[in-house]
Amino acid sequence: MLISLNWIRDFVDLPRDVSPPELGERFTLTCAEIEGVERIRVDARGLIAARVLSNRELPGSRNLRHVVLDVGGGKAVETVTAAPLLHVDTCVVYAPPGASLAAFGVIREAKVEGHASVGMILPGEAIGIEMAVQTAIFLPPYAEPGEELAAEAFDDWVIEVDNKSITHRPDLWGHYGIARELAAMYRRDLKPYPVVRLEELTDVDLPEIPITIDDPQRCPRYSGLRFGSVGSQAAPLWMQLRLGHVGLRPIDCLVDLTNYIMMELGQPMHAFDGDKVERIEVGLAEPGSTFVTLDGIERALPDAALMILSNRQPIALAGIMGGLDTEIRAQTQSLLLESANFEPATIRRCANALGLRTDACVRFEKSLDPANTVLAIQRFMHLARPEFPQMKLAGRLSDAYPEPAEPVTVEVDPRFAARFMGHPIEAKDIVEILTPLGFTVDEDADKLLVGVPSWRATKDISIEADVIEEVARYVGYNSIEPVLPDVEVRCFEPNALHELEQASLRLLCLGLSFSEIHGYIWYDSNWTRRLGFDPGPCCELKNPASAAMHLLRQTLVPGLLASVDLNRHYAADLRLVELGGVFFPESAQVQEAHERRHLGLVFARRQKGAEETLLAELKGVVETWSSQTLGKPARFEPHPADAARPWEHPQMTAQVVVGDAVAGRLAALPLGLRRAMDEHLAAWSVAWAELELNGLCTPAPVEKVRPVPAHPEVDLDFSFLVPVSARYTAVAKQLAGFEHALLKRISYVGCYEGKSVPAGRRSLTVRCRIGDPARTLVDDDIASFRTAFEGFLGACGWGLRR
Amino acid sequence: MDVEQLKLILAGIEQEARQAVQAAATLEALRGVRAKFLGKKGSLGQLMGTIRDYPPEQRGLAGQTLNAASQAVTALFEERQKQIESSEVAADASGAGAHDPSLPGVRLPLGNVHPVTAVQWQIEHVFQRLGFTVEAGPEMESDYYNFEALNIPAMHPARDMQDTFWLTNGLLLRTHTSPVQVRTMEKFGPPIRCIVPGRCFRYETIDASHENTFHQCEGLVIDRNISIANLIAVMRLLLREVFQRDVKVRLRPGYFPFVEPGFELDMSCLICGGSGCATCKRSGWVEVLPCGMVHPNVLRYGEIDPHEYTGFAFGLGLTRLAMMKYGISDIRVMNAGDVRALVPPSRMAGPTIVERN
């Protein structure tokens, strides 16, 4: 929201030695964030009012007009202008030759397209009314041609308040509220708000507007005033300039007045054509009905749209926009002025449903002070009377306020305030701070009873902490001496999953050459389609970032593969890891069970047919990871590929088992899928693993260390041939059945296929460790073990590799 | 054969041995030569076997003669061995400068954690030293924890501040890490000291400085007598540890429904040192984190008595911090999966010889 400093000065005499940027800084530190402070420098000299005497098209020109102006003193001048709507007899802002302003320098007589043009009808943007581009600024009917226009009203400073920082402060949505804060900051008096006395509007001899409120929850207060003998004319220049400075376009005196009061008090008002509105009813729209707003658009009304009705015919969307039918027009003479208070949620829901965010609804949804409805009308009359000296009340102030707001009182304990702030403060300091902000403070024993002013009581301030905030921000947060907290020592349960995640990334990235990437948690359906992957039922976004990204992922593999495709251009050997959430749609309850944490690994190498090597290396990584982070070994079991997951190779897919738990899958990427991803990947080998961490955080039993044997043990390696169809798990199980008194352990060394191994066979090498705790082995021990083990292998049908 | 003949033969052998020993240039050759003379089947060894052929009265003398010769030959070997060893030591220590001690090592490629992870670890480390736990919560959250329990009822305008991804199952993607506040209160009860690093989501258009998926780190302290002064002290300590230098901070009012009072914490701009530059929009200050005193209603939602306990909370933008720390100017690279955009170039290849832009 934009704030004009000229306007603020109506209500508070700010110290002269404070520059506007300093003032903005102070406001940021004490109240709400100022986003910018800008100077409006028109530097107008010698501008005058001029009356249009005649206006005709300039022959041969598309948009220029020849205008004769009365510039006072019986003098008429001719000028050429592009400004539209220059009706005869209206007064405009005019720069005669010799006048000057920052935008154009000194104005001189000129020729425009061959025509003499004396002086200049000034467009809005040249005099600080940015919204009135290339439009003349009109003056009220009482303006006299030749009358000098006061130079000081044109120049101003504009302060931009960050709207987000005042969503909780309805009072700061107008200049008067801002002025109140500035007055308190600089210890100046806030001037009373100039209004007409209430008694002037409550003449009992005048008729009352019948007002019916169906549901006072939705419309706590509705005030209205009917008057006549007004018409369409321009607002006073100073008012137009101020509206221009805060970003509004001056339109017409009556409209400008309501806008002016909205920018001043935060209270939106609406003017109905008084002849068309007999009574006021506030109620919900008929379900399924439509309404034409004053912008001429017919709108389908959402459920529970709150409407202003007259004889049950809708005349306005409450708190959002008026209707076209009852709009005031140039010839309108009689007005019904609405100043009401609505429930924020009702207005907000309706405005959001309609996609119609007006200045009014933005304010109503902040919980406005119901006391302001009448005050705004009083202010309106105060400002309108000098403009419309002939105006007459056609009714008395009508005010429906069925359930007046209860005053809010908050009990504050000064000792608690001091403790809460961590800063010494006494009752008298609190009184000194709160009073200028409009609070009342009564001492009651060792407590303070703080009366909250109506403009802060709608939702902003209701508890002790709210009042302490007021005190603390005026003490100055930066005056509070920092002190580290004095806390109770407590040993919290460890977060095992988080520790596992951190240990996993540490090992994989810092030790095993993996690079971590982050992906989005939704599938990109363009990519999954390319992979030939149908995600099936997934958690689904109602409002995805794009239509192709509506399904939440259940696996990290598609994302990792996309990353392989992206990174393959510059590296021949990729090791990527992602750790993140995956989501399952079982039920609408948030239970951790529906969201799991996965660890995805991928190995890719620019080498054809290296799947066996890659898988072996990746398995090695998984084994190392499992032993080092979980304290349990991992093993791999043959597993059929899941046809729904095209990244599982029909031949080369394994299930990863840690302890007794299935931890995930590991596989090579089939050639078909690599081709589908990217033709270049046909010449690559890719392997991946995906592990679910949630179930793995159980503590592992500690494996004890054994004393070094007193007599040396001996390792004997045996290489033997098994059919390629034999699975390691089965072979290992059989080997585990071998019994011998000297045997300590059998472990896997490696496997080999190729030269010297017959086709259809694979050579496995295992290492047997033998020893006797009571004595040193002799040659015969070794020979006899060899014989026994080789005999066992033979009995299994596995010949030794020669 | 008599002893005199033996002496002659031995003298010959000794002579022969002397020459052979001198000719052996390496320890290995010397060992071969030694076997030739002193081994069981060597010339001296074989003569040892002939002693019992001597008449008994000569055997003693023959033995002595042989032993003496054997010792003499052994001494030759030992002397030569020492010579060779010391010349080998000398040769090992000398050389023509062929070795280049400055050559780089041989290693696996360097792995990398994501910049956000690196910053997250740094923050976790600071807070763990202060006795904070690291907590986590679901990314797919309920309206209750994400909004309602944080004092943001339905239709509250503050919901606009955090445009939300909604799910068809009625849940949402958490818009901040703050829902873990009440979750942690429920889990532990007071007192609490925790941080919650994690991924958050906002329904907004992506450009160089806006992402719909980013990381935050929530912090929460609840204890008896926690004050604004405590909050300022902890925040200052945090920033000092993160930036490894004393930074000036200032607090100003900020509005978040789940804290009362709420603050924006600014840090003096590290680029210009506070004198004003483009980064800080000429203000000398950079907004770094929103924080505040936990709202009594939020404590109540967490079943903590606000009369007994007070607390503060803060939210640190991990993604933004990582961008500042590593000089990443386009936020979109964070989730794009291109490693080159996340890792300093020197870590992408072997040891750098020269780096040019």
- Tell me the pLDDT tens digit for each residue of A375-399: 999 999 999 999 999 999 999 999 9
Chain B residue whose CA is closest to A513: B111
* CB within 8 Å of chain A, chain B residues 102-161: 108-114, 116-117, 121, 124, 131, 133-136, 138-142, 145, 154-155, 157-158, 161
Provide the 8-state DSSP code for A640: P
Tens-digit pLDDT profile for residues B112-144: 999 999 999 999 999 999 999 999 999 999 999
Tens-digit pLDDT profile for residues A277-319: 999 999 999 999 999 999 999 999 999 899 999 999 999 999 9
Best of B145, B155, B293 to disrupt the A interface by mutation (most A CBs within 10 Å)? B155
Find, among A341, A350, A346, A326, the residue nearest to A374 by Cα.
A341
Q: How many separate helices (H) and strands (E) can be counted in chain A?
A: 18, 38
Range name among A181-195, A364-378, A629-643, B232-246 with the lowest pLDDT average: B232-246
Tell me, what's the pLDDT at A192?
97
Put residue A41 in one of left, alpha, beta given phi > 0 → left and psi -120 to 50 → alpha. beta
> Cα A398 vs. chain centroid, distance in angstroms?
41
A159: confidence class by pLDDT, cuts 50, 70, 90: very high
A733: confidence class by pLDDT, cuts 50, 70, 90: very high
Tell me, what's the pLDDT at B61?
86
Chain B residue whose CA is closest to A573: B109
Q: What is the CA radius of gyration of chain A?
A: 42
Find, among A104, A107, A146, the residue nearest to A126 by Cα.
A104
| Mean pLDDT over the full length of chain B | 90
Residues from chain A contacting residue B191 (CB–CB below 8 Å): 487-488, 490
Fold of B115-347: BirA Bifunctional Protein; domain 2 (3.30.930)
Residues from chain B contacting residue A548 (CB–CB below 8 Å): none
Tens-digit pLDDT profile for residues B250-291: 999 999 999 999 999 998 887 788 888 877 777 788 888 999
A350: confidence class by pLDDT, cuts 50, 70, 90: very high
Tens-digit pLDDT profile for residues A508-548: 999 999 999 999 999 999 999 999 999 999 999 999 999 99
Q: What is the CA radius of gyration of chain B?
A: 41
Upstream peptide bond of B261 is cis (omega within 30 degrees of 0): yes
pTM above 0.95, yes or no: no
Contact yes or no for B276/B283 (Cβ under 8 A): yes
* CB within 8 Å of chain A, chain B residues 311-330: none
On the question of pLDDT at A592 being above 60, the answer is no
**Whole-number percent of chain A with pLDDT over 90:** 88
**CA distance, residue A83 to nearest chain B CA (Å):** 38
**Whole-number percent of chain B with pLDDT over 70:** 99
Burial class (CB in 10 A: 0-12, 13-18, 19+), A62: exposed
Tens-digit pLDDT profile for residues A486-497: 999 999 988 999
Residues 6+ apart with CB under 8 A from B290: B254, B256, B262, B263, B264, B265, B314, B315
Neighbours of A205 (CB within 10 A): 5
Distance CA A34, CA A185 (A): 15
Residues from chain A contacting residue B310 (CB–CB below 8 Å): 420
Tell me, what's the pLDDT at A591?
58
Position B212, amino acid: N
Verify whether the Cβ–Cβ distance A543 to B166 is below 8 Å. Answer: yes
Confirm or reject contact between B336 and chain A (CB < 8 A). Answer: yes
Contact yes or no for A500/A693 (Cβ under 8 A): yes
A72: confidence class by pLDDT, cuts 50, 70, 90: very high
On the question of pLDDT at B162 being above 70, the answer is no
Per the structure block, which two tokens stand in for A634?
């991992």
B161: confidence class by pLDDT, cuts 50, 70, 90: low
Range name among A177-181, B93-97, B191-195 with the lowest pLDDT average: B93-97
| Mean pLDDT over the full length of chain A | 94
Residues 6+ apart with CB under 8 A from A37: A20, A21, A23, A24, A157, A158, A159, A160
Distance CA B307, CA B288 (A): 30
**Whole-number percent of chain A with pLDDT over 70:** 99
Verify whether the Cβ–Cβ distance B255 to A510 is below 8 Å. Answer: no
Verify whether the Cβ–Cβ distance B334 to A566 is below 8 Å. Answer: no
Distance CA A180, CA A783 (A): 102
On the question of pLDDT at B310 being above 70, the answer is yes
Tell me, what's the pLDDT at B160?
66
**Four-point Cα dihedral A270, A276, A282, A285, nearest 10:** -110
Upstream peptide bond of A344 is cis (omega within 30 degrees of 0): no
Verify whether the Cβ–Cβ distance B264 to A581 is below 8 Å. Answer: no
Neighbours of A77 (CB within 10 A): 19
Find, among A425, A457, A381, A405, the residue nearest to A198 by Cα.
A381
Tens-digit pLDDT profile for residues A206-244: 999 999 999 999 999 999 999 998 989 999 999 999 999
**Annotated domain spans of chain B:** 3-87, 115-347
Mean pLDDT of A59-73: 89
**CA distance, residue B40 to nearest chain A CA (Å):** 25
Residues from chain B contacting residue A33 (CB–CB below 8 Å): 252, 254, 264
Tell me, what's the pLDDT at A63?
85
Nearest CB partner across the interface for B193, out of A487, A515, A588 = A487
Nearest CB partner across the interface for A492, out of B188, B225, B264 = B188
Tell me, what's the pLDDT at B272?
82
Mean pLDDT of A569-581: 94
Residues 6+ apart with CB under 8 A from A664: A598, A599, A655, A656, A689, A690, A691, A692
Q: Where are the beta strands (DSSP E) in A162-249?
A: 211-213, 221-228
Contact yes or no for A771/A714 (Cβ under 8 A): yes
ipTM of the complex: 0.88
Burial class (CB in 10 A: 0-12, 13-18, 19+), A105: exposed
Residue indicated by tokens 């599982």 = A648
Q: Where are the beta strands (DSSP E) in chain B?
A: 133-134, 140-141, 172-173, 192-201, 213-223, 249-253, 259-268, 285-294, 310-317
Distance CA A250, CA A264 (A): 15
Largest alpha-carbon pair distance within chain A?
Answer: 138
**CA distance, residue B110 to nearest chain A CA (Å):** 5
Best of B110, B114, B144 to disrupt the A interface by mutation (most A CBs within 10 Å)? B114
A703: confidence class by pLDDT, cuts 50, 70, 90: confident
Verify whether the Cβ–Cβ distance A483 to B193 is below 8 Å. Answer: no
For the ranges A230-234, A302-306, B214-218, B345-349, the maximum mean pLDDT occurs at B214-218
Distance CA A502, CA B216 (A): 17
CB contacts < 8 A, A to B, total: 245
Verify whether the Cβ–Cβ distance A517 to B264 is below 8 Å. Answer: no
The larger pLDDT score, comparing residue B9 to residue A685, is at: A685
**CA distance, residue B36 to nearest chain A CA (Å):** 30
* CB within 8 Å of chain A, chain B residues 31-90: none
Instruction: Give the HSE-up count for residue A613: Cα atoms under 13 Å, Cβ half-sphere.
Output: 10
Handedness of CA A191, A192, A196, A200 (dihedral sign): negative
Tens-digit pLDDT profile for residues A195-207: 999 999 998 899 9
Distance CA A667, CA A655 (A): 9
Residues from chain B contacting residue A218 (CB–CB below 8 Å): none
Nearest CB partner across the interface for B228, out of A472, A493, A495 = A472
Residues from chain B contacting residue A469 (CB–CB below 8 Å): 253, 260-261
Chain A residue whose CA is closest to B232: A482
Mean pLDDT of A675-684: 94
Tell me, what's the pLDDT at B59?
84
Per the structure block, which two tokens stand in for A697?
């955080």
